[in-house]
Structure 1
Amino acid sequence: MLDKDPDGSVGENIHRQIRNDIIFGRLLPGQKLRLEPMRQAYGISVATLREILSRLTAVGLVTAEGQKGFSVAPASECDLMEVSELRIMLEAKALKDSFAHGDLNWEANVVAAHYKLESVEAKVFAQKDDIPPDLREDWKRYDWQFHRALIQACPSKNLLDLHAIVFGKFLRYQLQTKTIRGEIAADEHRQLLAAAKARDTEAAIAILKQHIYGSAAHLAPAGTPSAED
């Protein structure tokens, strides 16, 4: 989802670029996506651009407004809560299945993904809330890769695909705030790693709920459910 793919087709690469521009906040919630300026900016035809925006509409990152064209999907606290619940539902199921099927290679990939995430987290925390955009993007890319590694042994491609869509929506909210949860989130990542090594599904799901609800509360304190709900 957030990984760079220099070997893909032009259309797929531009699709990935526009999607990431929405997720990382370079295209803002509610912003009009005017075809001619976008065609020039991304170097593609209007027909290809329309196809890409239609695909992004199908996954909820863009809204189509009939004759008015396309806009970046709006953001709201209600939507954040719904996305949080969906992420927990999908990721918890994928974690359970991944723990059941994961082999030594899977575990090694989880450890490696966490090592990369922990390394960039140290750089982020050193910056406190004044994080350069490139570092913030690297951080969230490694965050995605770690969570993806945890569930990668799940045998359901449909489940993994749905999770990627919902994770992207959740990440969009995370990148709308300049503040960070810092060491709390990093400690939850360490706990998830330990649970993965022990194949402790119950502990992993409990930590995951705490991790997602905690992040949602940081983004929108009012009306956020607790991890015990």
Structure 2
Amino acid sequence: MQEERSGEHERTNDSETVSDAVFRRLRHDIIMGILLPGSKIKLEKARERYSISISSLREILSRLSAENLVLAEGQRGFEVSPVSRQELTELADLRTVLECHAIGLSFAAGDLEWEGSIVAAHHRLAAVERRLLAGDVARTIDWVRCDWEFHRAIVAASNSATLLQSLSSVFDRFLRYHMLAGSFRGKAVVDDHKLLFERALARDADGAKEIITSHVQKGIDHIMKDPKFLSGR
């Protein structure tokens, strides 16, 4: 075995260690479908790909296991967590509960700065969505980022770090299903975001919760209809 790499807890910038950066990269690769559900994660190959030691890689995979993105198989190693209709439904329900609760808190506490962040986030999201509707599929990655930034801005004033962290994790796991099935579902999702934006500025929490509930359910329907996804699962 090659000598373990040193310096993996050194900072790559003011706030992130090398291990943190690899964790983020590996997590991104799972969520974006680059590492497919059920695929084995071979430690030596992953060590070379992510330029990190085996021991640190094991720690990272254990962290991902805690988010149910990776399965630890004892002596058999690790694999990317499989997908299922049941998990998709459970994630959708959990996302709806968390996001609707966060909306109630955020709409009650939000100030002018909060409103401004929503306006800016929606402006960026709408710009990317226009490009996607025009056929520029290369902007899908930008859309994924802007979509979360918009939803996060909506609930940012909830003042609950634990709630937002939980929502972020569930949001990403739900997103993985979208990426496997084909992430962007066209004008319908654009219309949902516009309505949610309007409800947020109007401080209409009940209306926003209705939109989120419908928005998530339509996401499930979109995934379930995709012929190349979840077939036979």
Using the size of structure 1 for normalisation, the TM-score is 0.90
1:181 corresponds to 2:189: no
Q: Take 2:210 and 2:132, find their aligned partners in 1: how far apart are those partners?
A: 26
Which amino acid is the alignment partner of residue 202 of structure 2?
A
How many percent identity over aligned positions? 44
1:70 corresponds to 2:63: no
Which amino acid is the alignment partner of residue 128 of structure 2?
V
Of 15, 24, 28, the match for 2:32: 24
Instruction: Give 1:26 deviation, angstroms.
Output: 0.6
**Secondary structure of 2:79's aligned partner:** strand
1:143 corresponds to 2:151: no
Q: Give the corresponding residue for 1:161.
A: 165
Of 2, 11, 14, the match for 2:22: 14
Of 144, 164, 175, the match for 1:171: 175
Q: How does 1:1-229 map to 2 (within 5 A)?
A: 7=14, 8-127=16-135, 131-132=137-138, 135-178=139-182, 180-221=184-225
Asked if the contact 2:47/2:57 (under 8 Å) is kept, the reply is yes
Q: In terms of Rg, which structure is larger?
A: 2
**Secondary structure of 1:44's aligned partner:** coil
Which amino acid is the alignment partner of residue 107 of structure 1?
E
Instruction: Give 1:178 deviation, angstroms.
Output: 2.9
Residues 21/179 of structure 1: CA separation in 2 closer, same or farther (3 Å cut): closer
Q: Take 2:34 and 2:145, find their aligned partners in 1: how far apart are those partners?
A: 15
Asked if the contact 1:6/1:13 (under 8 Å) is kept, the reply is no
**Deviation sequence 1:22-70 (CA, Å, 0-9, x none):** 0011111011011100000000011111010000000111111111111
Instruction: Give 1:156 deviation, angstroms.
Output: 1.2
Q: Take 1:6 and 1:71, find their aligned partners in 2: how far apart are those partners?
A: 30
**Number of matched residues?**
214
Q: Take 1:62 and 1:73, find their aligned partners in 2: how far apart are those partners?
A: 5
Q: Take 1:221 and 1:88, find their aligned partners in 2: how far apart are those partners?
A: 21
Structure 1: 5+ residue stretches without partners: 223-229
Asked if the contact 1:34/1:70 (under 8 Å) is kept, the reply is yes
Instruction: Give 1:180 deviation, angstroms.
Output: 3.4
Using the size of structure 2 for normalisation, the TM-score is 0.89
Q: Take 2:68 and 2:21, find their aligned partners in 1: how far apart are those partners?
A: 19
The CA RMSD over aligned residues, in Å, is 1.5
